Structure 1
Amino acid sequence: MDPSITSEAAIGVRNPAKLAPLPHKVVGPEIFSEFSLKDKVAVVTGGDGGLGLEFCIVLAELGAAVYAIDLPAKPSADFEAAAKYCRRLGTSLEYRRADISDSLRATAILEEIANNNDGRVDVLIAAAGILGDEHDVEAYPAESFRKVMDINCGGVFYSAQAAAKIMKRKGIAGSIILIASISGSVTNRDMKWSAYNVSKSAVVQMGRSMACELGQFGIRVNTLSPGHIRTKMTAQTLESDTKMEAFWASLNPLGRIGAIHELRGVIAWLSSEASSFCTGSDIIVSGGHTAW
């Protein structure tokens, strides 16, 4: 475990006591330094667009060198714009093509990134996933089910597994964040997404299991479960049914669908030492959807 992360750290209430004998020392807030990822290496699967790309930008803004892994041969125009923005910040955002549902490829690409960065991977966000086709449960095609599970479950596991190996080998008290969904805890009302729901439930249990195994090495594993968020993936459903947005909005106390940027804060917290005592948790950001 990183020896700097202890209950004796001179931050919070301990900081004023530490500074009391130094009345002339210039002081500033400590909270922002807890969120810093300066000199850290972060990897985001599914980072070419949507939630994954937003997470990449957050990590870069916190100072990390960021690598996005996704399937397209070339990154999207949105990604290229984000990469230019990151360079202007003085950080970096690079793209790597890989199918993380292939365990060997997932391991190879994480190892390649680590080898280019003094053996380091400090943060992994496993955000790659698909919704899959909508089918009646009794008629759900086996091939469609396997595809959803291969990506949403297998791909998450293989990338997290590879990151954990690197962190353990290097002695890094890293953070692994698995992107689940409220669909892993509750069922999407009136939607026939049984395979997706099963896969996200598996991700939540995966996070708890990994956290229990890896905690002894200082490696934290948490899951993030967004509610209904407007993304390119959900836009397909919303555009095909004009009443769907109002229906989804009615399912949470805030009465609206979430925006991608509303996950930035929780990603910053989970990725950094600000959440150093949080592991094995499923963080739900749903506008209160699951409170009812």
Structure 2
Amino acid sequence: MAHLILLAILRRSQISSIHKNGVSLASLHSTPAIQRDGLGDFALTDRVAIVTEGNRGLGLEAALAFSMAGSRAVYCLDLPEKPGEDWNAARQSIAKLGGAGRLEYVTTDVRDQKRLLKTVEEIATKEGRMDVCVTAAGISGAARPCLEYTEEDLEEVYAVNLKGVFFAAQAAAKQMDRFQIPGSIILLASIAGSVALKHTPVLPYNTSKAAVIQMARVMACELAQKNIRVNSLSPGFIETPMTTAIISARPEFQAIWSEQSFMNRLGKPRELRGIMTWLASDASSFCTGSNIVVDGGYTAW
């Protein structure tokens, strides 16, 4: 329920939203001091975060949430050489907020372990710390019957969804340990890692997300003594660029995915801001090794 408390606090801070290209941007009508004091343990004052696939979708939502909670800097790591329109619009919105953290963009490939380790080390050295990591990079892969998947199909998905997630978490944890700073690592999993998705044949995606959930548990056990928390977050079907592209190609999935939810709809990316901020902050200091499900009731049937 902690994320509901945070949302209530944010409402009292009078957040008004506008939408541009599917990304919800926000303006806070209060002073930076009031923002930080009002958030209490949810505040991320002066903290530094990295977010993979921070150019759009849930990665960008995490970056926005952390900036509004007072982060010093959120580094959005993604594959394109230059950030897209959504990211630029988000950065401009954040820049107008007094006391909000910086949004920075860094081009990198989560599949390249050596490059990622170096990139994250350079960020931590520049900022003098590393506090939060969100591994949002992921691909769905081709949708086809399990009997038809090739080795190449599996390798493509696992390289991003499994290896890329671990490489990013590992890189961040190394810097948290280096600076002896308590850290929080949030691995983006999915309900697809816990249940089979009705009429949605994406075996490599499902198995990769199941692995991410287990990865969070194992890393949490190993890193607890270093005061680094690791949790996985399993959203249901959210209106991200990935799901929107699938629905554009297969419109029937809109109804298939919606009808499984008690709310009979897909989630909005901004509806995950609260839980991501909670997991990143001291408000969740006793939470590690957990898989948090936010799915509109999809898996409760």
Which category describes the TM-score, using the shorter chain as reference length? Answer: 0.7 to 0.9
Cα separation, 1, equivalents of 2:39 and 2:181: 21
Segments of 5+ residues of structure 1 without an aligned counterpart are 1-28
- Single out whichever of 120-129 and 231-240 deviates more from structure 2: 231-240
Which residues in structure 2 correspond to 1:70-219 (within 5 Å)?
70-89=78-97, 90=99, 91-118=101-128, 120-219=129-228
2:39 touches 2:69 (CA, 8 Å); kept in 1? no
Report the counterpart of residue 22 of structure 1 in structure 2.
none
Report the alpha carbon displacement of residue 142 of structure 1 after superposing the two structures with TM.
1.2
Cα separation, 1, equivalents of 2:88 and 2:227: 34
Report the alpha carbon displacement of residue 31 of structure 1 after superposing the two structures with TM.
6.5
Cα separation, 2, equivalents of 1:31 and 1:283: 25
Segments of 5+ residues of structure 2 without an aligned counterpart are 1-35
The 3-state SS of whatever aligns with 1:224 is strand
Cα separation, 1, equivalents of 2:40 and 2:138: 32
Cα separation, 1, equivalents of 2:155 and 2:234: 22
Sequence identity of aligned pairs in percent?
Answer: 48
Report the alpha carbon displacement of residue 87 of structure 1 after superposing the two structures with TM.
1.6
Report the alpha carbon displacement of residue 239 of structure 1 after superposing the two structures with TM.
1.9
- Single out whichever of 243-252 and 269-278 deviates more from structure 2: 243-252
Deviating beyond 3 angstroms after TM superposition, the runs of 4 or more aligned structure 1 residues are: none
Cα separation, 2, equivalents of 1:139 and 1:229: 27
Cα separation, 2, equivalents of 1:184 and 1:254: 21
Cα separation, 2, equivalents of 1:30 and 1:215: 28
Report the counterpart of residue 244 of structure 1 in structure 2.
253
One-letter amino acid of the counterpart of residue 212, structure 2? V
Tell me, yes or no, if structure 1 residue 50 matches structure 2 residue 57.
yes
One-letter amino acid of the counterpart of residue 111, structure 1? E
CA RMSD between the two structures:
1.2
Larger Rg: 1
The 3-state SS of whatever aligns with 1:176 is strand
Cα separation, 2, equivalents of 1:111 and 1:159: 11
Tell me, yes or no, if structure 1 residue 222 matches structure 2 residue 231.
yes
Report the counterpart of residue 13 of structure 1 in structure 2.
none
Q: Which has the higher strand share?
A: 2
Report the alpha carbon displacement of residue 243 of structure 1 after superposing the two structures with TM.
2.6
2:79 touches 2:108 (CA, 8 Å); kept in 1? yes
Report the alpha carbon displacement of residue 241 of structure 1 after superposing the two structures with TM.
2.7
Give the number of equivalent residue pairs.
263
Cα separation, 2, equivalents of 1:106 and 1:262: 29
2:53 touches 2:77 (CA, 8 Å); kept in 1? yes
The 3-state SS of whatever aligns with 1:116 is helix
Report the alpha carbon displacement of residue 242 of structure 1 after superposing the two structures with TM.
2.7
2:199 touches 2:256 (CA, 8 Å); kept in 1? no
Q: For 1:275, which of 276, 280, 284 is the aligned residue?
A: 284
The 3-state SS of whatever aligns with 1:95 is strand
Cα separation, 2, equivalents of 1:255 and 1:31: 34
One-letter amino acid of the counterpart of residue 288, structure 2? T
Cα separation, 2, equivalents of 1:262 and 1:187: 23
TM-score using structure 2 length: 0.85
Tell me, yes or no, if structure 1 residue 33 matches structure 2 residue 43.
no
The 3-state SS of whatever aligns with 1:115 is helix
TM-score using structure 1 length: 0.88
Cα separation, 2, equivalents of 1:84 and 1:50: 17
